[in-house]
């Protein structure tokens, strides 16, 4: 009950908890960043990256992984925040560099996963914070530069994007999560499936889960919109629907 009533304080949704903590810390981080020159800001990003991504990748079973919490800790969030601020102030002009870094990091990650699937140990782990950091940042940079000319596609992306937080809240709920992972544990359910087929199944499963969660979110918005039109439950409608209804 406490986890449901106080999801942020209890850490039920770790991402939301760290996001809110970062929200409170951001004014102080901004004060530090504003006083930094480009060179000092870059050095700060490098130091934080080494502490939260490079060392945990090289020594996955060490204190460094505990410190960064495997890309799920507040220090890692602060590192990404500082890198994001750097990229905003000093944007990377080269689109080829961004795409090369993205493709390279994904291919290297796929290589590690392949080694792991074939019982070839390397660095002792396939969870590599540095690669996760690189392809998350580069993927973000690719999409903010992406220009979609067709209005229908743009509208579809905006509608789906508006439900992205709902997807996280639904599929990562502490009641839903274990049941969902047991249902989608294809490696155990279908051990005979080939690697390439397994990849396709996982992608389809992620797509279906996302679509189902979006439908649930749209249904929720529709319900509160009807309540709001009848003049009752306006407070709840403003909380849950806000600008989406």
Answer whether residue 236 shows pLDDT above 80.
Answer: no
Q: What is the mean pLDDT of residues 163-186?
A: 82
pLDDT at 124: 47
Answer whether residue 187 shows pLDDT above 70.
Answer: no
Q: What is the mean pLDDT of residues 217-223?
A: 88
- Please state, for a pLDDT cut of 70, what percent of the chain lies above it: 71
pLDDT at 245: 54
pLDDT at 47: 93
What is the rounded average pLDDT for all residues in the chain? 77
Structure confidence by residue, pLDDT tens digits, 65-97: 556 565 667 888 899 899 989 988 888 777 777
What DSSP line would sit under the chain, residue for residue?
A: -HHHH-TTTTTSSHHHHHHHHHHHHHHHHHHHHHT--HHHHHHHHHHHHIIIIIHHHH-TTSHHHHHHTTTTSHHHHHHHHHHHHHHHHS----HHHHHHHHHHHHHHHHHHHHHHHTT--STT-S--HHHHHHHHHHHHHHHHH-----HHHHHHHHHHHHTHHHHHHHHT-TTHHHHHHHHT-HHHH-TTS-HHHHHHHHHHHHHHHHHHHHHHHHHHHHHHHHHHHTTS-HHHHHHHTTT--
Greater confidence, 156 or 145?
156
pLDDT at 25: 93
Answer whether residue 43 shows pLDDT above 90.
Answer: yes
pLDDT at 62: 66
pLDDT at 110: 72
Confidence of residue 38 (pLDDT cuts 50, 70, 90): very high
Structure confidence by residue, pLDDT tens digits, 99-149: 787 788 777 777 766 666 555 444 445 567 787 788 788 878 877 777 777
- Please state, for a pLDDT cut of 90, what percent of the chain lies above it: 16
Answer whether residue 171 shows pLDDT above 70.
Answer: yes
């Amino acid at each position: 009950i406490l986890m449901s009533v106080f999801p942020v304080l209890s850490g039920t949704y770790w991402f939301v908890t760290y996001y809110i903590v970062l929200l409170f810390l951001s004014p102080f981080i901004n004060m530090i960043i504003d006083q930094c020159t480009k060179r000092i800001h870059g050095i700060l990003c490098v130091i934080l990256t080494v502490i939260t991504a490079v060392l945990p990748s090289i020594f996955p079973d060490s204190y460094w992984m505990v410190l960064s919490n495997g890309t799920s800790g507040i220090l890692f969030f602060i590192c990404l925040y500082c890198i994001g601020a750097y990229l905003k102030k000093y944007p990377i002009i080269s689109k080829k560099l961004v795409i090369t870094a993205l493709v390279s990091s994904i291919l290297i990650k796929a290589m590690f996963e392949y080694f792991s699937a074939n019982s070839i140990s390397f660095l002792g782990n396939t969870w590599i914070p540095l690669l996760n950091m690189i392809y998350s940042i580069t993927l973000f940079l690719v999409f903010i530069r992406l220009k979609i000319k067709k209005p229908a596609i743009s509208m579809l992306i905006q509608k789906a994007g508006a439900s992205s937080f709902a997807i996280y809240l639904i599929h990562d709920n502490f009641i839903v999560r274990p049941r969902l992972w047991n249902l989608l544990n294809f490696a155990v359910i279908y051990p005979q499936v080939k690697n390439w087929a397994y990849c396709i199944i996982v992608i389809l499963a992620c797509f279906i889960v996302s679509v189902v969660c979006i439908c649930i979110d749209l249904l929720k918005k529709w319900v509160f919109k009807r309540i709001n039109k009848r003049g009752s439950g306006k407070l709840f409608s403003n909380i849950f629907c806000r600008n989406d209804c």
